[in-house]
Amino acid sequence: MGDLEVKRAIVREQVSAPTAHSCEVLATIGRRANSTPASQYWTTYSKLTPGHFYSHDLVGVRADLLREGICPQVRLSGTGVIKGLKHNDCIVHGWPSEALVCLKFLEELSKVRAHSLQYRGESLATFGQMVFDEFCKPCDRPFLTADIRRELAGKQKGRCYVCGDDLESQGGGELDHSIPRGGRCWGSDGVDGLKYLCRMCHASKTSEDRARMNVEDPNVYMSRFSEEVWRGFVESRRPTQMVCNLNEATDGPCWEVDVRSCRLNGIVGL
């Protein structure tokens, strides 16, 4: 582009600067958590008491209640079939004929894959959709097969890793992450990071972990000092600055400092 005229024309062209859109926060797609307990916690309905129950004959239950002068709230399915009755804190769920198939499926699935599915009396179609949604989620945790679990328990000779009690007599062991997972702790899901503990030891270890996990602030450059440390740190004289020239070889000892995480002042001062 040697032509001067073309160059001038280009210079005169209007240059538009891209403008950033104002920040927009889109609502996340979230379903309300289902507070209904899973179906294995329901009992057969016999009388009106608080809790979750199931019945094969909701129409009959409703008729009985109406005869007693109680009018329960009726929950209908999308196709207009009664799927539940509610009166104050007493909830009676219908028990669909396909329930056993769904529960058996979950039982088999639990043997081969970690999942968070719970059956709450859904129809086969809804249940199928739940399974599909679950399979679409990324599975970020390795699944511990029965063999791996047996191997782990065998390594500990069937005893609790902390107190040494026999796990079988304590109703089976519970797997514990030696370094907790979650809450800014990234314990490994690997076999080496897991130990079998008895229920009591697991409960106390978990509460200890929680106490530890909540000490650190979300801001990793902030930590807490005791008053004594704080005074010693703030009120003492400035330490002599150490300067070294890393490029010059010396015969003396070589010190190496590895700064893994420095404080905010250190960063600002850079």
Q: Which stretch binds Zn ion (CB under 5 A): 18-26, 34-42, 200-208, 221-229?
A: 200-208
CB nearer to Zn ion: pick between 77 and 170: 170
The answer to whether 199 touches 171, Cβ cutoff 8 Å, is yes
The answer to whether 162 contacts Zn ion (rule: CB under 5 A) is: yes
CB nearer to Zn ion: pick between 160 and 194: 160
Q: How far is the CB of 257 from Zn ion (least distance, A)?
A: 42
CA distance 64 to 70: 9
- Indicate the SS3 state at residue 234: helix
Q: Which stretch binds Zn ion (CB under 5 A): 32-40, 107-115, 159-167, 229-237?
A: 159-167
The answer to whether 163 contacts Zn ion (rule: CB under 5 A) is: yes
CB nearer to Zn ion: pick between 102 and 160: 160
The answer to whether 93 touches 84, Cβ cutoff 8 Å, is yes
The answer to whether 48 touches 40, Cβ cutoff 8 Å, is no
**Shortest CA distance to 157 belongs to which of 196, 205, 202?**
196
Q: Residues 6 or more apart from 1 whose CB is under 8 A from it?
A: 7, 10
Q: Are strands 194-197 and 43-44 parallel, antiparallel or unpaired?
A: unpaired
The answer to whether 203 contacts Zn ion (rule: CB under 5 A) is: no
The answer to whether 201 contacts Zn ion (rule: CB under 5 A) is: yes
Q: How far is the CB of 164 from Zn ion (least distance, A)?
A: 7
The answer to whether 144 contacts Zn ion (rule: CB under 5 A) is: no
CB nearer to Zn ion: pick between 114 and 163: 163
The answer to whether 153 contacts Zn ion (rule: CB under 5 A) is: no
Token readout for 189 is 């899901």
Q: Which stretch binds Zn ion (CB under 5 A): 181-189, 193-201, 242-250, 255-263?
A: 193-201
User: Which residues, numbered 55-114, are part of the site for Zn ion (CB under 5 A)?
Assistant: none
CA distance 248 to 253: 13
Counting every residue, how long is the chain? 270
What residues line the site for Zn ion (CB under 5 A)? 160, 162-163, 165, 198, 201
